[in-house]
Structure 1
Amino acid sequence: MHRRLLTTRWLLLHVLFLVATIATGFFTVWQWDRAHEAGGSFQNLGYALQWPLFGAFTIFLWIRMIRMDMHADTPSAEGVEPSPAQDADNPAPDHRGGRRVNRPLVPPPAPPVDSDEDPDLAAYNRYLAGLDAAEDRSGS
C-alpha cells in the first residue's frame, strides 16, 4: 500500500467513499422492499435499479481518484520534461502538499499572414489588431 493513500486527506476520502457506497446499498434494499409493498410503484422499482448504478459509479470514482493521485508525479505520456526556467517561472504550490504544478507554456504567436497568402485571414488579423489598438487607447 502506498503511504500517500494513508494521509489525513485520503483517509477522509476513503471513509466518504465507503459511506457513500454502503448508503447506496441500503437505498437499493429500501426501494426494492418499498416497490413490493402495497403502496409501491414502478417508480420505486426504477429507483431500486438505479441505486446500484450510483454505487458502481462511486466505486469507479474512488478508483479513478486513486489512480490519478498515484500517477500525478510521473512524467507525461509525451515524455516532455518542464525546463528549469519554466519551473522557476511557476513556483505556485499544488493543493496536494506543496508539489509544483507544471502548467503548459503559452505557444509563440503565429507568423504574420500576407495578403498574398490568404487575403481574408490577413484582413481579419488587421481588424483584430485595430480592435486591440482601440482598446489600448481607451484605457480599458
Structure 2
Amino acid sequence: MNITEALIGVRLLFLDTAPVIYHVEGNPTYQPRTDIVFQEIRAGSVEAVTSPITLAECLVHSYQRGDLALVQQFRNVITAGVHTRYVGVDDVAESAAELRRYHLSLTDAFQVAAALAAGCDALLTNDTAFKRITELRVLTLDELEL
C-alpha cells in the first residue's frame, strides 16, 4: 500500500522507535518512506504522538557512542517536533499489562497503551509483533510503498 494512501483517515499517528531512528539517522532503506511520513506531519496532515519509551530507546546507541549532537536531534524530533505530541506513560501501566496478552514485550505493550490513551488512529513501526494487536491499526514500514 502507498504511504499516502495508508495515512488517509489517520489524524493521530503513534511513532514507534524504529521509524524515528531510521529518519534521524538517515537509514538508506527506510528514509525515503519516513521522509514522506514526516512531511505529512510537518504539513499538519497528521499529528505524531511519541512517548518516553520511544525517546529512551532512540537515545541508547547515541549515548553509548558519546554522540551528544545525535542525542539532541532525537530529543528535538521526539519531544518538540512540529505537530508532535509527547505523551507520558504514567497512567497506562494497567493497560500495558493487559496488552501483554498479545505476547508483546513490556516496552512494546507500553507503546501500544500510550497510543491508545492518546487516541491514536494508527501506530507506525517496523516490528511485525505489533500486528497481533486488534485495538489499533498497525502500519509497518516494510509493507508501505513509495
TM-score above 0.5, yes or no: no
Tell me which protein shows more helix as a share of its residues. Answer: 1
Could you say which structure has the larger radius of gyration?
Answer: 1
**TM-score with structure 1 setting the length:** 0.23
Greater RCO (Cα-Cα under 8 Å, separation 6 or more): 2
